[in-house]
Amino acid sequence: MNLEHFPWLTTTILFPIVAALLLPFIPDKDGRTVRWYALVIGLIDFAIIVYAFCTQYDFNKPGLQLFESYAWIPQLDLNWSVGADGLAMPLILLTGFITTLAILAAWPVTFKPKLFYFLMLAMYGGQIAVFAVQDMLLFFLAWELELVPVYMILAIWGGKKRQYAATKFILYTAGGSLFILVGALTMAFYGDTVTFDMSAIAAKDFPIKLELLLYGGFLIAYGVKLPIFPLHTWLPDAHGEATAPAHMLLAGILLKMGGYALLRMNVGMLPDAHATFAPILIILGVVNIIYAALTSFAQRNLKRKIAYSSISHMGFVLIGMASFTEIGLSGAMLQMISHGLIGASLFFLVGCTYDRTHTLMLDEMGGVGSKMKKVFAMWTTCSMASLALPGMSGFVAEVMIFIGISTSDAYSPTFKVLVVFLAAVGVILTPIYLLSMLRELLYGPENKALTSHEKLVDAEPREVFVITCLLIPIIGIGLYPKIVTQIYDSTTTQLTALIRQSVPTLGDNPPIAQQSQELLSFTAPNIPQK
C-alpha cells in the first residue's frame, strides 16, 4: 500500500467512532475492561495521528496536506473532504493528546462506564473532524454532532446542578450554530456556482456588506465557544458541574474550536470584513482579559476561578489574530495550544483535589499541601505555567502577542499603547489571583474540620503520569517554541499576507487611525467598495 495516499485523517476520525459502537458488546460488569479498551483505542488513534504527521506532513507547505475528498451528494458539490494545514494540524495533535489523557483521567468512573467511554470515543472522532473537514456543511454537521457527547457527559456525570449547566451549554452553543448554518448556506449559494468547498467559497467575490454580515454572524457563533464576553456565561456553569475528564476536554479542546473557526473562516475566508472588525476584536480581547481576571479573583469556588482564568487567557488570542502581524498571529496559535495544555492540567488537578477534599470552596480548605506533597508540587508547577512564568509555554505565547500588537503598523501609537497597557494589567492580575489561590488551598494552618472526616492521600502514580505528560510539552515549548511554531509558520505567514492585502494603506505603512481623536471611534481600515 502506498502510504502517501492512505486516508489518514478519515481513519483518525472514523476509527474511534467505529470502536465506540463496539463497546455495548464487550462483556464487562465493573467498567475495568471498557476503560482499558477505550484507552487502547485512544492510544492507537493518537499513534496514527503522530505517524501521519511525522511521515506525511511538510512544514514548508502552507496549503492543505493529507487531503482526501470523496463524493457525497454530487448535485450540491457536497463531499467528504478533509485536510490539514498549519492551522489544523497542531490542533489535531492537541486533540489526540488531550483526549487520550482525558480517558486515563476518567479511570475512577464506575457509573454507566460503557455509555461514558462510548461518548468519550465518539467525541474523539468528532473533535478531529471539526479541525479536519474542508466542507462548510460537513463542518456544521461535525460541529453539531460533537456537542451531543459533551451535553450528555455534563448532564449525566456532572454535579448537583448538572442539568442546568448542560442545558445552558446546549442552548448557547446550538443557538450560535444557527449563525453557522445560515452563513454556510449563504456563502455556498452565492454567485453562479453552488459549492460547500471551503477553498471554492474563499475564492468567491462577496460584496463588502455581505462579508460584514457573515463575519458578524460567525463572530457570534464562534464567540460563544471561544468564549468572548458577553457570550461566556455558559462556561463557568459548565466547568462548575463537570468532572475532571470533561474539564480537560472543555478547556483543552472545545475552546480552541472557536479560535480555530475564527481563523479559518472569519480571518481566512472574509479578510476584507476582518479588516473592519479587527479593532473590535482587540477591544473584546482586552475586555476578556481584564473582566475575567477580576472576576476570577473574586471567585471562592475553585472550578469557577480556573474557568474565568481560561476566559481571560483566551482574550490574548483575539488580540493576536487582529494584530495584522506574523508574530501576533503566530502568538495567537501558540496561545491556543499552550492554554489547551495548561488548562487541561489545572482542571485535572481540580478533580484530583475534589476527590480528596470533597469540597470546592477555598474557605473550607487550607494546609492540605502538608498532607499531599505531590499534589502540592503539581499545583504549584501548573499554576506557574498559567501565570506565564518564563521558561513555560504561556510566557512565550503572550510575549509574541504583545510584540505583535505593539509593532503593528495597522493602528495608531495611542491605541497600541492603551491596548498593551490594559493587557499588561491582566497579566499582573493573573499571578495575584493564582498565587492567592495556592495560598488558600495549600498553605496556612490545617483545617481540622476538613481533615477530621476526609483522608487526604497523596497523588497516585496515574495522576502524576497525567500531569507529567502535560508538563513536558508545556516546558518544552517554553524553552524551545520552534517545536510547535514551525508546524504552522508557513500557513500563518500566508494568512497574514492575505489579510494585509485587504488593507491598502498597510502597503504605505500609515496607521489605521491617522489622528489621535480617531482613537475613541476605533476607525477601521478603509475597504474599497466592491
Look at residue 525 in the predicted model and tell me its pLDDT: 42
pLDDT band at 264 (very low <50, low <70, confident <90, very high): very high
Burial class (CB in 10 A: 0-12, 13-18, 19+), 285: buried
Per the structure block, which three cell numbers stand in for 420?
498593551
Q: Which residues have a Cβ under 8 Å from the Cβ of 30 and sit 6 or more positions away?
A: 110, 113
Residue owning grid cell 483545617: 447
User: What sign does the dihedral 330-331-334-336 (CA atoms) show?
Assistant: negative
- What's the whole-number mean pLDDT along residues 167-193? 91
pLDDT tens sequence across 202-226:
998 899 999 999 999 999 999 999 8
Percent pLDDT > 70 in the chain is 94
pLDDT tens sequence across 444-457:
777 777 777 777 88
- What's the whole-number mean pLDDT along residues 421-439? 92
What single-letter DSSP state applies at residue 73?
E
Residue type, 456: L
Look at residue 445 in the predicted model and tell me its pLDDT: 77
Q: Does position 404 have pLDDT exceeding 50, yes or no?
A: yes
More confident residue, 173 or 530: 173
- What's the whole-number mean pLDDT along residues 371-391? 91
Burial class (CB in 10 A: 0-12, 13-18, 19+), 493: middle
Q: Does position 295 have pLDDT exceeding 50, yes or no?
A: yes
pLDDT tens sequence across 56-71:
999 989 889 999 988 8
pLDDT band at 2 (very low <50, low <70, confident <90, very high): low
- What's the whole-number mean pLDDT along residues 266-272? 92
pLDDT tens sequence across 107-153:
888 888 899 999 999 999 999 999 999 999 999 999 988 888 999 99
Look at residue 36 in the predicted model and tell me its pLDDT: 93
Which of 10, 8, 21 is closest to 122 using CA atoms? 21
Alpha-carbon dihedral 102, 107, 112, 114, rounded to 10 degrees: 70
Residue 368's Cβ-side half-sphere holds a number of Cα atoms within 13 Å equal to 33
Which of 390, 458, 455, 464 is closest to 427 using CA atoms? 390
Q: Does position 518 have pLDDT exceeding 70, yes or no?
A: no
Look at residue 415 in the predicted model and tell me its pLDDT: 93
- Report the range of poorest mean pLDDT among 362-376, 395-409, 427-441: 362-376
Q: Does position 506 have pLDDT exceeding 60, yes or no?
A: yes
Look at residue 358 in the predicted model and tell me its pLDDT: 84
Return the number of other C-beta atoms located less than 10 Å from residue 450's C-beta: 19
pLDDT tens sequence across 321-379:
999 999 999 999 999 999 999 999 999 999 898 888 888 888 888 778 888 889 999 99
Per the structure block, which three cell numbers stand in for 269?
475566508
Burial class (CB in 10 A: 0-12, 13-18, 19+), 236: buried
Q: Does position 512 have pLDDT exceeding 60, yes or no?
A: no
- What's the whole-number mean pLDDT along residues 492-516? 67
Residue owning grid cell 501565570: 387
Bridge partners for 68 per DSSP: 82
Look at residue 1 in the predicted model and tell me its pLDDT: 52
More confident residue, 42 or 523: 42
- Report the range of poorest mean pLDDT among 164-168, 488-492, 503-507: 503-507
Look at residue 222 in the predicted model and tell me its pLDDT: 94
Look at residue 516 in the predicted model and tell me its pLDDT: 27
Q: How far apart are CA 17 and CA 122, in angstroms?
A: 5
For the chain, give the mean pLDDT. Answer: 88
Instruction: Check if the beta carbon of residue 361 is closer than 8 Å to that of residue 301.
Output: yes
**Residues in the chain, total:** 530
Instruction: Check if the beta carbon of residue 440 is closer than 8 Å to that of residue 357.
Output: no
3-class DSSP state of 61: coil
By 3-state DSSP, what share of the chain in percent is helix, strand and coil, each rounded to 5?
75, 5, 25
pLDDT band at 486 (very low <50, low <70, confident <90, very high): very high
- What's the whole-number mean pLDDT along residues 423-443? 90
Which of 525, 165, 160 is closest to 359 using CA atoms? 160
Residue owning grid cell 456553569: 237
Look at residue 14 in the predicted model and tell me its pLDDT: 95
Look at residue 524 in the predicted model and tell me its pLDDT: 40
Bridge partners for 81 per DSSP: 69
Q: Does position 507 have pLDDT exceeding 70, yes or no?
A: no
pLDDT band at 262 (very low <50, low <70, confident <90, very high): very high
| Continuous H helices in 57-161 | 89-105, 113-132, 136-157
- What's the whole-number mean pLDDT along residues 150-176? 90
